[in-house]
Homo-oligomer: A and B are copies of this chain.
Amino acid sequence: MITHKVMFLPHNREISAPDGGSLIEAAMEAGVHVNASCGGEGQCGKCRVIIESGKVEEGISEQLSKEDLENNYRLACLSRIKSDLIVRVPVESEVDASILNKFSATRRTARVQQLNLEDLKERGLFIPPVEKRYLDLPEPSARDNLADTSRLISFLKLNYDEHRLVVSLPVIRKLPEIFRKANFKVTATLARPVVDSGRTQIINIQPGDTTARNFAIAIDIGTTTIYGQLINLITGDILAEYGDFNGQISYGEDIITRIMFAEKPGGLNQLHEVVTQTINKIIDRIIKESGVNRDEVSTITLAGNTTMTQILLKIDPRYIRRSPYVPASTLYPLIRSVDLGIDLADHTTALVYPNISSFVGGDIIAGVMGSGIYLSDLLTLYIDIGTNAEIVIGNKEWLACAACSAGPAFEGGGIQFGMRAEQGAIEYFSIDPYTLEPMNITIGNVRPKGICGSGLFNIVANLFELGIVNSRGKFSHDLKSNRIRETDGVYEYVLAWKNETQIDRDIVLTEIDIVNLIRAKGAIYSGCQTLLDEVGLSISNLDRIILSGGFGSHIDIDKAMTIGLLPEIDPEKITYIGNGSLMGARICCLTNQIRKDVVKAMRKMTNFELSETPSYMSHYVAALFLPHTDLNLFPKLKARLMPDF
């Protein structure tokens, strides 16, 4: 990737930015504020900058006069970086540097942790749960007329040291014809047992040598979205990946409404049909894209929360939402994918990730397995942030988990202009401490439509650090700006004026929105504290934090600490694994060891029902502040806010 150096004046901040990148995003990255409320489409014309040296492309708009252009004014939101640059921000030039220091230095996101295939290979663990063996069998004769299955089994014993083999009935049905048509040169597909004491199943037999082609599918079934990957089991590579909305969203946005729908007559079957339709659509797409034949897929692993899992398996989920919140099962047997209505070959096995409880599901277990927490010495906090945030704390010795009902704020629910992280959502934000003018950056650099979860963090953290919002989430009433106003008795901040938006309304953030965010982040933070309490540890003992979830990669770690969502630890210790559930599903396709380990890991894991844990409520109440009642828990923030203490 070609990068260029961009120096911002008068701040004297230099950063490295990609060739063709947006200049306003580079400013955000550098912690330099440029007014911009229209989100990056050149609508508001406020993000004027002077290109003192170097070359940008575009950046020109009707908002700039001929004279402006001659003086090298450009709109930052429209400018693409094409060389090293020196950029002067005119309005800011007046700003006192000491005030600028109030901003956290840079936008810092978590390091992305990916599945380490090479490491898996080096440790000899790249042994997929479904393997192929080419067999050049001796042909039967009058003196050697072993049954076809016996011939198969004894050859595998002798030549591949395979033992405890079972041949399924569908394979027995195929053997006689395939053996003879292929002159007894065949490929057997072996499915490994999930437990050590189990038996290896011969699930398929194919004519000739097909060992070079063996594939798996990993599926993450989210309440909102479903992702699938097609994996080459010979190389371990992902050949295709595709995500789509879970067809069930038409039946309710959250888990509770889905369960309520499932309780209606025929409802469970309908939801089951709909989710398998989405899965089948994803499968169609990824097998087509990768040029794999449907019957070359030997196994599929699926991970989802407990409700999604029970619906997929056609298990009535009604008791998940009723006290004492009992799931039907934790472990599920290895089954055939066709038994779930999944459109793969008859022989394809399906493994559904186990769950711990009604609210700590297979998606989290998958994340724990995929991220390798259960193998690590490091005391790790794993957080999957979403409507239902799940937390796991532990290491290779022990694991504890809990689910926090964070509410839908992170996904835009309960936020007046909240929306999912889609095009037009304000994702990055900064504010001019004097003029209180915003710099909005939207996904796709288009005019704003609303605020997504990570935008919400940024906005609230910025407003809080500048004292515009106090620790209870209330706006300061002393500030003189038309951006802060009272509507129907509720204070709000105007992020973008009606004519700058796609929705023809002012986009605002209200005090109610902020309270909802505080409740959500408070639920998660106090969940972590409670879990640590229960195991006799505190936040200072944490060696690292792993973040997972759909929007985790956008989280500005510093901002998340500022609002008190994440505990304040060295940002270097925070990693992001993206879709942990999908990662876990994938690793389960790559190494059978995971399938065995998962049972052991689950046995080590203690589930805490936070509602039944007495200390939770007091932790929660104390966390209903920005960042927390006890500012000492956030020493760096405290130092910034109160440099004299």
Given contacts A166-B333, A329-B149, contact A315 B173 (CB under 8 A): yes
Q: A330–B149 contact, CB under 8 A? A: yes
Given contacts A150-B330, A169-B339, contact A176 B319 (CB under 8 A): yes
The reply on A324 being an interface residue by CB < 8 A is yes
Q: How far is A612 from B145 in the complex, measured between Cα atoms in Å?
A: 11
For the complex with contacts A145-B325, A173-B313, A173-B315, 13 further pairs of A-B residues with Cβ separation under 8 Å are: A142-B609, A145-B357, A148-B326, A148-B327, A148-B328, A148-B329, A150-B329, A151-B326, A166-B333, A167-B329, A169-B313, A173-B328, A176-B319
Q: How far is A329 from B332 in the complex, measured between Cα atoms in Å?
A: 30
Q: A177–B145 contact, CB under 8 A? A: no
Find chain B residues with CB under 8 A from A326 CB: 140, 145-148, 151, 176
Smallest Cβ distance from A204 to chain B, in angstroms?
15
Given contacts A142-B323, A324-B141, A326-B145, contact A176 B316 (CB under 8 A): yes
Q: Which residue of B lies closest to A175 (CB)?
A: B328
Find chain B residues with CB under 8 A from A198 CB: 199
Tally of chain A residues near chain B (CB < 8 A): 51
The reply on A180 being an interface residue by CB < 8 A is yes
Q: How far is A323 from B148 in the complex, measured between Cα atoms in Å?
A: 14
Which applies to chain A's interface (DSSP): helix, strand, loop or mixed?
Answer: loop
Instruction: Please report which residues of chain A, range 288-337, place their CB below 8 angstroms from some CB of chain B when the two chains form the complex.
Output: 313-316, 318-319, 323-333, 335
Total copies of the chain: 2
Contact pick for A609, options B145, B151, B358, CB 8 Å: B145
The reply on A235 being an interface residue by CB < 8 A is no
Residues of A within 8 A of B (CB): 140-151, 164, 166-169, 172-173, 175-177, 180, 197-199, 313-316, 318-319, 323-333, 335, 339, 355, 357-358, 609, 611-612
Find chain B residues with CB under 8 A from A164 CB: 197
Given contacts A167-B329, A328-B148, A329-B148, contact A142 B315 (CB under 8 A): no
- Can you name 29 A-B residue pairings with CB atoms under 8 Å? A140-B324, A141-B324, A142-B609, A145-B324, A146-B326, A147-B327, A147-B328, A147-B329, A148-B328, A149-B329, A149-B331, A150-B329, A164-B197, A167-B329, A167-B333, A168-B333, A169-B313, A169-B335, A172-B313, A172-B315, A172-B328, A172-B329, A173-B315, A173-B316, A173-B328, A176-B318, A176-B319, A197-B199, A198-B199
Q: How far is A323 from B144 in the complex, measured between Cα atoms in Å?
A: 11
